[in-house]
Amino acid sequence: MAAAAAAASPATGVSYPSTTRKALLPTLRVSRKFKVAAAVSADPAPAFQSVTAFAPATVANLGPGFDFLGCAVADASLSLGDTVTATLDPTLPPGTVAIADVTSPSRPHLAARLSRDPLRNCAGIAALAALRALGVRSHAVSLALAKGLPLGSGLGSSAASAAAAAKAVDALFGSHLHGDDLVLAGLESEKAVSGFHADNIAPAILGGFVLVRSYDPFHLIPLPCPPALRLHFVLVTPDFEAPTSKMRAALPKHVAIKHHVRNSSQAAALVAAVLQGDATVIGSAMSSDGIVEPTRAPLIPGMAAVKAAALGAGALGCTISGAGPTAVAVIEGEEKGEEIARSMIDAFWSAGNLKATATIAQLDRAGARVISTSTLS
């Protein structure tokens, strides 16, 4: 969402032209000209007057899984994520969306940076895509976005807004969309503001660990891990923004075959460890990226020292969350969480001269969900 940030402007209704789906979602061909087609042929009637949905933060890449692995994380209070309320709005032209309100309870200054133009706001773009996928033609929707995630943090801020909006709009009209439809609606938003990759939006919608196998055809593989696995994440975010565009520009243009082989084996090990519930291997695989992390870490002051501090304090693994600057350490259980968090915060200050805050989160297996509704009046 950082790429779409702008001074607030008056709420504006915007609609997309309708399109016709030519194939079912499992064989949907996705390209960089991708648009979400209608998934529901009829014009569905509203099921509620308003719906509020929450979508969690996400950790993309997970070390060696650049652009194809990610997981959802949340805390018990659901403050680690974004919330969107979608409300039927008869004052708008049918088939349109308006951004009625943007707030950021924990970061009041953030709200002014986010546009109220639906075409320049992650929630607005995803909501419009969801309306089109639903085939809504007789009603309009206004959105209220409450940002719980900072911009440019590496925690899937744009994806959380998009996921919550798509979920809320779908529920408003009776929850007709499949999970893949919702991911595609959110992916249209991601494409507009941070790039064509689903490793944040897929887990934000579906929850848990998700493997993005391909885009053409579009194929996501949820990776269920044993319920007994007590996986926790220590998320330490420094007072420093790392725009996705800048961090992507730093990526190497060529990769040695030996590095490719090693990263591939570590990514495969990570997938196997998730399925088997092996926290130790999950951590060691996350720490073993030899391609992306070495080029991005120098752009985040103190990152190398933070990783060393996390591992020294007992973390099973540590890497950059998404494009950064958040550092993520993985632990089994939360007993060592506070100690590891303090070590990482101290390292950001001593090695990078950056203040930082920490959150201890757990794997969020639910993904985007409805948290409240109001009946039709």
The pLDDT value given to residue 111: 79
Residues 6+ apart with CB under 8 A from 188: 34, 35, 36, 125, 126, 129
Q: Give the chain's domains with CATH numbers.
A: 2-222+370-374 (3.30.230.10), 231-363 (3.30.70.890)
On the 0-12 / 13-18 / 19+ scale of CB atoms within 10 A, 174 is middle
pLDDT of residue 185: 97
Residues of the chain with pLDDT under 70: 1-41
C-alpha distances (whole Å) from 149 to each of 42, 89, 106 are 36, 27, 9
Provide the pairing of β-strand 327-332 with 317-320: antiparallel
pTM summary value: 0.88
Contact call for residues 123 and 116 (beta carbons, < 8 A): no
User: Where does residue 100 rank: exposed (0-12), middle (13-18), buried (19+ CB within 10 A)?
Assistant: middle
pLDDT value for 37: 52
pLDDT at 370: 98
